[in-house]
Amino acid sequence: MIENVVLDCCGFYNMMDWGHMNWWGFPFLGLWFVGFIIVIISIVVYLIIHSEKSEEIEVMSDAQKILNERYAKGEMTRKDYIQAKDISS
């Protein structure tokens, strides 16, 4: 039984007890948890904003594609094309 007891600067404690950092670690556990929640929320917000922008870019590229096709077929004049391109931008 003696070999399981270790002398520390604060006194004797059992090796399996790990000393519990004299309760100094407890407040930091809460800070780590709050930090973890903030990181998770930040990632979710970033993904939502990023997905909305990518959908908007796809819609604009489709409109630009249709506009380019109509101009290439000769359905529009250069003036109409430039005006429509300015509106869609």
CA distances, 81 to each of 43, 57, 58, 60, 89 (Å): 40, 20, 20, 15, 12
Q: Residue 70: inside a domain, yes or no? A: yes
The range of the structural domain enclosing residue 46 comes to 42-89
Q: Residue 76: inside a domain, yes or no? A: yes
- Confirm if 5 and 15 have CB atoms less than 8 A apart: yes
CA distances, 37 to each of 29, 32, 40, 41 (Å): 12, 9, 5, 6
Q: Residue 61: inside a domain, yes or no? A: yes
Q: Residue 2: inside a domain, yes or no? A: no
CA distance 81 to 71: 6
Each residue of 44-77: pLDDT tens digit?
999 888 876 666 566 667 788 888 899 999 998 9
Q: Which pLDDT value is given to residue 30?
A: 82
